[in-house]
Structure 1
């Protein structure tokens, strides 16, 4: 499991650790890890040109000390000081002693001093830029001088290593309000910060490397955000034993598809069959004869049922909503499924057709799987607000609905309802842009529904389903299709269980 902690928690832990160490020891550890990451990105340290963008505070100090280490190995290191009067003194002395040089940043030149003729030339000559402008406590976008330098770096295409997190992003929320650095890699210290795992900040972080500086014993047991890894998923996946039969493994009911969208039924059933349950029972809306025909032709192992839900046969969880379309029959089907006293996943059209009364009357677990537009409709806000503040939005929606909420998108987030507030939000790290294809969400709905039927708790079923779905998206043939993602799910299982 990867854990991420808020800025306040990290600062308390750092203070507790620094009280036990000699002065400067923590920064020395961070600088050593940062310098090692920089060396890994350079084809060779000797003769390489490294440009440090240095603000005030400890991030600037980390960059300066790391620059000194690189200079001692033969790199030509130049630091642009964005706050010369507040630059970390020890770090600046170390850089100069190692043969590095420092120049004032834009708009910071003291009276009588000469500003460098061209910051653009410094950027273009650099093989690597180190972003030490703003620390984890920074709020809002970059200030104009820093934004100007960041823009020059972007235009030059010079790779950037961010210190702890890209400057200009919010460490606690992943939000970006204004100009921000786009890094090829981020070296973060002690623990992950939520913003490194949540878009839109995550996409600016590049490849994230965690450097151990001894912080773990000072961190609390409960994180603010977490991300599953292979071992965590493997431990949660349902596996049959010698006494298993299809009913003990779980039967998932799929209520999806219509004559307008028959493919949604096929895709949801495909995901369900590969999700770990023992059997899949398909129940479509009254008019969905074409969907029924396509499901049984494609998957003869599926069980076909007639409504209503109470007469559909044994079902331990339902996935409802994909491709149901509009109309009274579809709305009645969603309400009927939500009246069942078993776990239910609601996706796509089901999110529009369900009522607040349907949700609030439930005692069994409920999972909602909206994308940003659907989440915005449920919250009564603009889509841009959801996309810009994904972490706050998924928490708010879980609180309002009393359901486990999986917010789909560039980073998938899973939040538990109020009754399980002690749980941190989970971010899924396996997603890929190839999953942005029609029907992909229908497959995900089937997978999660199947995991619910197999006995996983709602929070775990949603998290594990997203993880497997992301791996399958990476495994699927290019260009990926939804059915290709479904077909790749067994390989995703294999990746996880063989690790």
Structure 2
């Protein structure tokens, strides 16, 4: 599990550790980890050129001490001080190692820039001197120190203004991931993230991201005496004569093998198409979970009401979201930013700028699990727990992909996973299946559904290998 913590959690853990360590010991640990990550990125040391952009705080101190390590390895290190104050011991260490102070971008240009402007305590946005410095090194790869400067650590927010935050190729962070490493838009600005362990004793995380082993551990498995009903039955109420594809794709996601049976209830013309594509799908009857809303059209309120009357977990998607129930802990709401903006009566731009804030608001207001779709999908429990989906590919931005996702999540809920687990595991599988199907090329939603059994099989095979070798 990838775990991310807030600034206050990190600072409290650091203060406990610092009380037992000599002055600057923690900073030296961080600086050595940063320096080695920079060397790995450079590929060599001697004769390479690195520019440090240095702010006034400890973040700048990390960069200066790392610069001293690099200089001792043969790197030509320059420090551009963006404040009248700099970390004195860090600056002295850099200069003793042969580094130099500059007042602008050096000539010749550096091979790499280290962003030590602002640390985890910074607010969204950059001061004018920092914006000018970032503009002056445009086109040169940047390594962020702890976070790319100009983002908010606890929410992943930026100002949204061009040039008002750093766009890093790599971010080297210390002790633990911060929420901004997982949550967009800051996660995009962070690039790849490398964690340097500092030995912190940390509390429960503020956000987490499932990894393959976590997903494998949560996947439902049939036991030796399983039969189709005990494995779970998921019902699909999606699609219409106007939008038959939504029903077909919702069924395709649900029929990935994770449950014993899929039922389709809806327009007869869609049912005929579903049976032609998925002859194993049956009609109305008892279910352990429902998927409702995608392409349902005008009758969606009645369709959702009928599903909710069964008192089973219900995935509420697309058209049904405008009638989403409140206070149903077994509901899973799956909006994209536009749908969530209507649910909360706020502008879509506000959702996109503050996805975590608004996903949490929706989970609290509706009393349900909220799955906010996006590059980094957010799954938020009403009690405040957050999981971030880190799988997927830009090719997944294709019509019908959300229909497949709803089917997968519904199948997992029918198989017995709690709504929070069903939503987060379903999101992970959906993104991983898209990546497998894509192979870095274009896909359509049906490709994602067809790749799901392979992804599940690979996960279970990997988990079996781990168990057999333990």
Q: Measure the CA separation in 2 of the matches of 1:210 and 1:490.
A: 32
SS of the residue aligned with 1:414?
Answer: strand
Q: TM-score, normalised by structure 1?
A: 0.90
**How far 1:350 sits from its partner (Å)?**
1.1
SS of the residue aligned with 1:102?
Answer: strand
Judge conservation of contact 1:406–1:462 (CA < 8 Å) in 2: yes
Judge conservation of contact 2:334–2:372 (CA < 8 Å) in 1: yes
What is the match of residue 66 of structure 1? 66
Pick aligned residue for 1:346 from 313, 316, 333: 316
Q: Measure the CA separation in 1 of the matches of 2:351 and 2:455.
A: 29
What per-residue deviation string (whole Å, max 9, x for no partner) do you get for residues 443-492 of structure 1?
Answer: 00000000000000000000000000010110113211100011111222
**How far 1:103 sits from its partner (Å)?**
1.9
SS of the residue aligned with 2:427?
Answer: helix
What is the match of residue 489 of structure 1? 452
What is the match of residue 467 of structure 2? none
Report whether the alignment pairs 1:54 with 2:54: yes
Gaps of at least 5 residues in structure 2 are: 463-470
SS of the residue aligned with 2:229?
Answer: helix
What per-residue deviation string (whole Å, max 9, x for no partner) do you get for residues 194-236 of structure 1?
Answer: 0110000000000001110111x2x11x211111111111110
Q: Measure the CA separation in 1 of the matches of 2:61 and 2:222.
A: 54
SS of the residue aligned with 1:30?
Answer: helix
Q: Measure the CA separation in 1 of the matches of 2:98 and 2:224.
A: 69
Seen in structure 2, the aligned counterparts of structure 1 residues 275 and 321 have a Cα distance that, compared at 3 Å, is: farther
Judge conservation of contact 2:390–2:428 (CA < 8 Å) in 1: yes
Q: Measure the CA separation in 1 of the matches of 2:4 and 2:257.
A: 28
Report whether the alignment pairs 1:165 with 2:147: yes
Pick aligned residue for 1:430 from 378, 388, 391: 391
Count of residues in correspondence between the two structures: 457
SS of the residue aligned with 1:301?
Answer: coil
Q: Measure the CA separation in 2 of the matches of 1:331 and 1:6.
A: 40
Report whether the alignment pairs 1:133 with 2:109: no
Report whether the alignment pairs 1:247 with 2:229: yes
**How far 1:324 sits from its partner (Å)?**
0.7
**How far 1:68 sits from its partner (Å)?**
0.8
Pairwise CA RMSD? 1.3
**How far 1:9 sits from its partner (Å)?**
1.0
Q: Measure the CA separation in 1 of the matches of 2:42 and 2:459.
A: 33
Q: Measure the CA separation in 1 of the matches of 2:408 and 2:307.
A: 18
Gaps of at least 5 residues in structure 1 are: 105-115, 306-312
Mapping of residues 288-367 of structure 1, within 5 Å: 288-305=267-284, 313-325=285-297, 327=298, 329-352=299-322, 354=323, 358-360=325-327, 362=328, 365-367=330-332
What is the match of residue 445 of structure 1? 406
Q: Measure the CA separation in 2 of the matches of 1:144 and 1:254.
A: 54
Q: Measure the CA separation in 2 of the matches of 1:380 and 1:103.
A: 50
Q: Measure the CA separation in 2 of the matches of 1:359 and 1:4.
A: 29
Seen in structure 2, the aligned counterparts of structure 1 residues 275 and 406 have a Cα distance that, compared at 3 Å, is: farther
What per-residue deviation string (whole Å, max 9, x for no partner) do you get for residues 121-160 of structure 1?
Answer: 55x7111110000010001300011011112223xx2111
Judge conservation of contact 1:275–1:451 (CA < 8 Å) in 2: no
Report whether the alignment pairs 1:186 with 2:147: no
Report whether the alignment pairs 1:373 with 2:343: no
Judge conservation of contact 2:63–2:114 (CA < 8 Å) in 1: yes
Q: Measure the CA separation in 2 of the matches of 1:143 and 1:389.
A: 21
Moved >3 Å (runs of 4+):
none
Seen in structure 2, the aligned counterparts of structure 1 residues 275 and 395 have a Cα distance that, compared at 3 Å, is: farther
**How far 1:275 sits from its partner (Å)?**
5.6
343-352 or 145-154, which deviates more: 145-154
Q: Measure the CA separation in 1 of the matches of 2:300 and 2:423.
A: 24
What per-residue deviation string (whole Å, max 9, x for no partner) do you get for residues 392-433 of structure 1?
Answer: 11100001111100000121001112xxx1x52111111321
SS of the residue aligned with 2:177?
Answer: coil
SS of the residue aligned with 2:74?
Answer: coil
Q: Measure the CA separation in 2 of the matches of 1:278 and 1:301.
A: 10
Mapping of residues 94-105 of structure 1, within 5 Å: 94-104=93-103
What is the match of residue 361 of structure 2? 396
Q: Measure the CA separation in 1 of the matches of 2:458 and 2:85.
A: 50
Q: Measure the CA separation in 1 of the matches of 2:434 and 2:27.
A: 40
Q: Measure the CA separation in 2 of the matches of 1:88 and 1:74.
A: 23
What per-residue deviation string (whole Å, max 9, x for no partner) do you get for residues 43-99 of structure 1?
Answer: 31111000100001111011111111111111110000011x320111111111111
SS of the residue aligned with 1:242?
Answer: coil
Report whether the alignment pairs 1:87 with 2:86: yes
